[in-house]
Structure 1
Amino acid sequence: MGNSALKAHLETAQKTGVFQLTGKGLTEFPEDLQKLTSNLRTIDLSNNKIELLPPLIGKFSLLKSLALNNNKLTALPEELCKLKKLETLHLNGNHLRQLPAAFGQLSALKTLSLSGNQLRTVPTQLSGLRHLDVVDLSKNQIQNVPDTVGELQAIELNLNQNQISQISVQISHCPRLKVLRLEENCLELSMLPQSILSDSQISLLAVEGNLFEIKKLRELEGYDKYMERFTATKKKFA
């Protein structure tokens, strides 16, 4: 892509606060964007070949939405965690194994998509995020869900298509969790905490494609209580 084309994109972005350049084969984060650190509210660089997110990302103080789906990121810089206004972060289809230690400082974050990466556990940093609504960790290599999950504030947690065989009973303590997706994992019925059914806020539990028949779920203690929540929620949205 020529310089003139990039220049035109930058001029538009300066007016709109939106910089979108997807599917252009970019191998690095456009350095010229640093001229717009005080303008941009949205950056979308999805479907490129970017391997590194530079530290200068931390300077986009107004940034609300950042999308880098389907790139080649293997790590994220600590500087990303300075984005106090960031509400939406889409990083699906990269090669991320972990999140920066300070990730819990992204205090405005509402939506986090990390589907199709190489995470091996539910990142403990997520527990500090107070406004988190939706977390998508599907299609990773997660094998267990740790105790820290009990502090997660999310309303929806998607863990489909992982390798989960163990889940902490603490998940039933999540104060706002309504939707829990665990399809296509390695769960035995005995490894599913019954308190999810009997004693949680969860009103939609998706567990198809595990190591048990769905109808066996109905025999568990607490299933009736779960169905009450499920039906009440359904009525609300009908």
Structure 2
Amino acid sequence: MHSLDDLRAGRLRGIPRLNLKQGLEQFPEEIFALAESLEILDLSDNALSTLPEDLHRLTRLKVLFCSNNRFNHLPEALGRCAKLETIGFRSNQISEVSGAALPPSVRALTLTDNALERLPDSLGQCHQLQKLMLTGNRLSALPASLADCQRLELLRIASNRLTSLPDWLLRMPRLAWLAYAGNPLPEGFVAPPVDAPCPSIAWQDIELGAELGRGASGLIHLAHWRGQDAPLAVKLYKGAITSDGSPLAEMSACIAAGDHPQLVRLAGRIDDHPQQLPALAMQLIPAQWHNLAGPPSLASCTRDQYPDARRLSPTALRRLALGIASVCAHLHARGLSHGDLYAHNILCDDHGQCLLGDFGAASFHSTAEQPAAILLQRLEVRAFGILLSELLAHCTQPDEQLQALAEHCQQADVAQRPGFSELLALLAH
């Protein structure tokens, strides 16, 4: 975090990244003194409603965050910033996006939790776009021109007013991570009645311990259940919209996922929290397990970041691949797409034993052999193919068969990709 005083005194000259959170109502002109070095500008959590028309004077600017401010439209000054790749205007009051506000160079655009009812047709001219975050708006349709964004890989459109998912969307050649829960979609795209057993646990029987972690959808605590010897993990869900969707939708997906060796086992749900927070009690993951990778960086955009030292034996890699393919086949058979099939959502040990977590982007589809359901499943197969390619890059030995399989999963023709049942059979042999 930086201060306005340091900026005005010239003590920040030459820095590549500036983070100002001081209740700003006006864009500080002193920022232009950093034009020769500034690449990342974070003005989130202020009270801004406008940006200067000559913002393009920041000629090296690649990343701009203005979340939690007071913008009611996306500033057109952004469209004149020649190198701007990442734009984040989450949780404003944006109801309008002009095509002039979209720089051709944009790779990641976040407009989560605003008041958008439509998007400009010129969005399709953003040919570098890889990541588009639109959860929590009022969109009733997507512009058909979005089909021209052939590099698009991650799309979040949960909690809008969409009444259909267009066929062209399900056939986009690189789309791999899609979240669409919380829209008034037809019967084949909404949560079915949950038939997975999930016992009810009384809050008075739970004793919370230390915080184990926190995410966009809630907090996870160590916990003890009265009368039980083994400790648990309890996740308390927030009510706010996340970048992926509704925390309540995530909770429903966790329950609907049911039992599988590669899923965190549910002990029960808690419905009588004193603050009415929904909560789930889950098995505690062994301390020696770790996340397979870290989430994408600003530079990698849609690709996870693996530790340099991460190495997998061929046996561990195949066990991992088989485990993830198995759990995805299980989910798809239950009409559930994970939506965020990434290494950073996989917990594992050094031998390739693994658990798939984080259902924040999960969405439902028909369990019947309907064309739309098949295409939705094949989108997730591409995510698996990307994951498999990444694992192969960190394997101690090359594996031509698995490499060919990874490429088969990522082919541009969505309908020609294998399903997870077929993948399971191939991996088993």
Alignment of 1:73-222 (within 5 A): 73-130=48-105, 132-152=106-126, 153-189=128-164, 192-212=165-185, 213=190, 214-215=364-365, 221=371
How many residues matched? 209
- Residue 237 of structure 1 corresponds to 387
Work out the CA distance in 2 between the residues paired with 1:42 and 1:75: 21
Distance 2:148 2:9 in 1: 43
Instruction: Return the alpha-carbon distance in structure 1 between the equivalents of residues 376 and 97 of structure 2.
Output: 24
State how far apart, in whole Å, the 1-side matches of 2:171 and 2:177 are: 13
Q: In the alignment, which of 12, 20, 28 is matched to residue 2 of structure 2?
A: 20
Q: Work out whether residues 160 and 184 of structure 1, in 8 Å CA contact, stay in contact via their aligned partners in 2.
A: yes
1:169 and 1:236, CA in 2 relative to 1: closer, same or farther beyond 3 A? same
1:102 deviates by: 3.3
2:16 aligns with 41
Q: What is aligned with 1:8?
A: none
Aligned partner of 2:285 in structure 1 is none
Tell me the distance in 2 between the aligned counterparts of 1:220 and 1:137. Answer: 32
Q: Which runs of 5+ in 2 are unaligned?
A: 191-363, 389-429
The AA in structure 2 aligned to 1:90 is: F
Judged with a 3 Å threshold, the aligned counterparts in structure 2 of structure 1 residues 59 and 157 are, in CA distance, closer, same or farther, namely: same
Q: Does the residue aligned with 1:81 lie in a helix, a strand or coil?
A: helix
Q: Secondary structure at the match of 1:196?
A: helix
Equivalent runs, 1:42-61 vs 2, <5 Å: 42-46=17-21, 48-61=22-35
Offset at residue 77 of structure 1 (A): 1.0
Q: Rg bigger for which structure? A: 2
Indicate the residue corresponding to 2:313 in structure 1.
none
* 2:44/2:66 contact within 8 Å kept: yes
Amino acid at match of 2:15: L
Structure 1 stretches of 4+ with a deviation exceeding 6 A read 217-220
SS at match of 2:54: helix
Q: Contact conserved, 2:365 with 2:373, CA < 8 A, in 1? A: no
Shift of 1:118: 1.4
1:180 is paired with a residue whose SS is: strand
List alignment gaps of at least 5 residues for structure 1: 1-18, 22-28
Classify 1:105/1:30 alpha carbon distance in 2 versus 1 (closer, same or farther; 3 Å). farther
Deviation at residue 31 of structure 1 after TM alignment:
8.2
Deviation of 1:59 (Å): 3.5
Q: Deviations over 1:75-97 (max 9, x none)?
A: 11113222111122111100012
Shift of 1:236: 1.9
Q: Relative to 1, partners in 2 of residues 1:141 and 1:158: Cα closer, same or farther, differing over 3 Å?
A: same
- TM-superposed CA distance for 1:58, in Å, is 3.0
Q: CA deviation at 1:184?
A: 0.6
The answer for the alignment partner of 1:5 in structure 2 is: none
Q: Counterpart of 1:141 in 2: which secondary structure?
A: coil
Tell whether the 8 Å contact from 2:96 to 2:116 is kept in structure 1 after alignment.
Answer: yes
CA shift digits 1:50-83 (9 cap, x unpaired): 1000344333211111111110001111132221
Between 118-127 and 151-160, report the one with greater CA deviation: 118-127
Question: In the TM superposition, what whole-angstrom CA distance separates every residue of 1:145-173 from its partner, at most 9, and x where no partner exists?
Answer: 22111112221100000111121111121
Amino acid at match of 2:162: L
Shift of 1:30: 4.2
What CA deviation, in whole Å up to 9, does each residue of 1:35-54 have, x standing for no partner? 357523221112x2110003
Give the direction of change, closer, same or farther, for the CA distance of 1:221–1:123 in structure 2 (3 Å limit).
farther
Q: Is the 8 A contact 1:111 1:135 kept in 2?
A: yes
